A and B are shown apart, each in its own frame.
Chain A
């Protein structure tokens, strides 16, 4: 699918390969690259997965792999954690309301 120039996109880029990582990082982190994600306006028509240039909100040019178009947030309040209801009951029971005892 072609993504049009001027679209709001996210790019991905490897900053340091595993072998370039700082000596002080723990072993598990040393096995993986340092990666970066930045958003901006696409400078040219391109397909997902292509190497592209974007113009960021501070008017900088960044190059990287095009990973998302119209990136959005989907973080939430999570699945119900029933223990929280129980905490509420416990603390209310200390204030003398017999319904919570």
Chain B
């Protein structure tokens, strides 16, 4: 019988992980801090064509790309003359589980079945749980979803409660926890107890499953408009959505497509705080995940994350909660598409960024998510109001996360805010170096790839950090 104390279980973390994902991450390590990312991605031994075939068989992918003509018309009313790109949206809510996360779950579940696992486990409070549950149902796998769901008063986030319901609808067992990062401890105990496959969001299987999304959107855009998108905007939390999409885009075209990350600004709210838990109206797609996972991808539940957004993104913007709720209603009222708020983070950014581009240019918002009781803009705003959050019209820039939600009093006030990418990249380099004081030339090359920068940038940064290159 294993010792189940917190310390003992956490000490066995690497051994449990190795067994439950079937990947020996040590194999890819080199230099002082580096690892071979592309070699690790080969651990998911499926070509893009094979992934597409698997997804087609199991109710995933081939979602429609829809032009938002009325929203584009509105944008052109408020943009400078000649400006206002065409906005398209990839309607990922059409996947069986209701979000793009179906792509992420599909390969993990397919692979788990192939390897002979009886079941899969995932730790997530988001759409990914429903995605794993849905795919597990198709493959006849047992499924456990571990959720952070309630605060210490037993009050659940309506959005997360709805996701629990959906997981159960697909036959999954849902283990619900109160707030805290020790969820990981419960997750490890369950992996050890059941011997199930760890359907982590951050393995090569998860990320390769999303590549089809990027590939499809380019091909659909070309077919519908005769050109590739100029800009693709991805809602960014753990970085997998952006990473997989960008990798798929690269396989679809050699032309330059600008990749933009968008997160909801939740500045000031602590993600592990019991009292802040129900004061936020977004449980994903926000800066509370987006920034820490961009600046240190390996904080995830596997030793080396396959989600590495800084390798791909060209720009990172934030929008406020009020702006996302506003555009969620806009999507329903002008386009007849009722979708979940969190997935519309990138749509809010698109309405702002489209005004910088010419009218013949194209922006693709690469996801939508399903909506329903609990995860609907009315449900989320009503819950915020019950929790004492002030909801009003005004300038969204004055919103204080956890205290107010400011709906723009006119669409002109929707303004995506650029984050300082140089600062984020420097922070990533610092975190990847950790305590290591001497780096090799190959580590420098690795860091260049990690933050998509030239050697001079990385060397200057290392100098600032007092690191030596030998």
Contacts and interface: CB of A to CB of B under 8 A. Distances in A.
A26 B270 contact: yes
Name the residue in B158, B165, B176 with the highest tally of chain A Cβ atoms < 10 Å from its Cβ. B176
A59 B392 CA distance: 49
B252 interface: no
Contacts of A88: 329, 332-333
A88 B173 CA distance: 39
Given A20-B6, A60-B194, A76-B374, A34 B329 contact: no
A32 B178 contact: yes
Given A22-B182, A60-B194, 16 more contacts: A22-B181, A26-B272, A28-B273, A28-B275, A32-B152, A35-B150, A36-B175, A37-B149, A58-B194, A76-B373, A77-B373, A80-B378, A87-B325, A91-B330, A94-B77, A94-B78
B373 A29 contact: no
Contacts, number: 162
A92 B334 CA distance: 7
A87 B326 contact: yes
Interface of A: 15-16, 20-22, 24-26, 28-29, 31-40, 56-60, 73, 75-81, 83-84, 86-88, 90-92, 94-95
Nearest to B177: A36
A80 B377 CA distance: 11
B329 A29 contact: no
B180 A25 contact: yes
Contacts of B70: 95
A66 B274 CA distance: 24
11 contacts: A22-B182, A24-B272, A38-B174, A57-B142, A57-B171, A75-B158, A81-B385, A84-B325, A84-B381, A91-B74, A91-B333
A76 B379 contact: yes
A16 B184 CA distance: 12
A12 to B, nearest CB: 9
A22 B185 CA distance: 10
Contacts of A28: 273-275
Contact of B329 (A38, A60, A87): A87
Nearest to B371: A77
A84 B165 contact: no
Contacts of B183: 34
A87 B377 CA distance: 12
A55 B457 CA distance: 57
B273 A26 contact: yes
Nearest to B143: A58
B181 A38 contact: no
A58 B119 contact: yes
B158 A78 contact: yes
Given A22-B180, A28-B273, A87 B185 contact: no
Nearest to A100: B333
A75 B162 contact: yes
Contacts of B158: 75-76, 78
Contacts of B383: 78
Nearest to A12: B154
A50 B164 CA distance: 25
A57 B273 CA distance: 30
Given A75-B161, A80-B378, A87 B273 contact: no
Interface centre among B168, B180, B194 (most CB of A within 10 A): B180
A26 B179 CA distance: 11
B376 interface: yes
Interface in B361-401: 373-374, 376-383, 385-386, 391-393
Contacts of B329: 84, 87-88, 91
A34 B77 CA distance: 51
Nearest to B190: A60
B350 to A, nearest CB: 15
Contacts of A15: 177, 182, 185-186
Given A58-B119, A75-B158, A90-B410, A34 B382 contact: no
Contacts of B447: none
Given A75-B373, A83-B381, A84-B377, A60 B193 contact: yes
Contacts of A81: 377-378, 381-382, 385, 391
B144 interface: yes
Interface in B194-233: 194
Contacts of B332: 88
B182 A16 contact: yes
Given A29-B180, A38-B175, A91-B333, A84 B411 contact: no
B342 interface: no
A45 to B, nearest CB: 23
Contacts of A25: 180-182, 272
